Amino acid sequence: MIFVSHDMDAINRICNRAVRMEHGRVVEDSVLNTAAIQVDSASSQFSVADLTRSYIRSGTKMTSLRSWDEAASRPQFGNVKLCGARLMRQGDIQTDRFELKETIIVEIEYEVVDESFPVQLHVHLKDLAGHYLFVTMSGDVTAPINSDRSGNFIARCRIPSPLLNVGDFRLDLEIWPGVPVDPKHIFQSLLSFSVYDDNTAAGVRGSWPNQWPNCLIRPAIPWEVARIPTSSTVA
């Protein structure tokens, strides 16, 4: 059966082989293409999920750094101006590519221009197809962090490992000024990055040698396995 669609979720769910065509010409085939996408895997397998991810990523450039050096050019949301943002691995090394065993560091620099309200930063993580993974906040909504004084601030959060599966992701930044606002103060796609698997027998992969299932997260869930002792027979 041939299934033709632009619905990537349906293709991933239904198909065991996928072909991508442009202007009537085959440009990618999940069976024939044995050169895996470099950012996804070190193996020679090219799965349906690899192909749909490649299609979604087409023409998209990952963004690990945004910077507004001139005060007049800084985006302003209420009483907050964004000065910059970047993605890093351990050692403060800026990058937009992370091996799935690496912790992802998100750094945001901002200026509070007045003391009207407390300020919270909300980071929303989605994949490039728009699937919503989670939101993390810089302080409890009932007890905002003490950043309501005017001045410049740097905020950092860490996306722990193991958590994300192989894929391409984007970060939306919401600035919450202490009171509900409509529309919300959101900077769409502030940063973006890719996660790949080096296929080494470590971390959450362990001794599993095959391709990992196509899911958005790959957390390390504790397991306990114990042998059930045999009961002794009483003569």
**Would you give per-residue pLDDT tens digits along the chain (235 residues)?**
787 877 776 777 778 788 887 888 887 787 754 444 444 444 445 677 777 777 767 777 899 999 998 988 999 998 899 999 999 999 999 999 999 999 999 999 999 888 766 788 999 999 988 899 999 999 754 455 555 578 899 999 999 999 999 999 999 999 988 778 888 899 999 999 999 988 887 778 888 888 788 888 999 898 899 999 987 655 5
pTM attached to this predicted model: 0.77
The answer to whether the beta carbons of residues 144 and 116 sit under 8 Å apart is no
Point out which residues pair with 187 in neighbouring strands: 173
The domains found in the chain, sorted by start residue, are 8-57 (no CATH), 65-196 (2.70.50.60)
Per-residue pLDDT at 18: 82
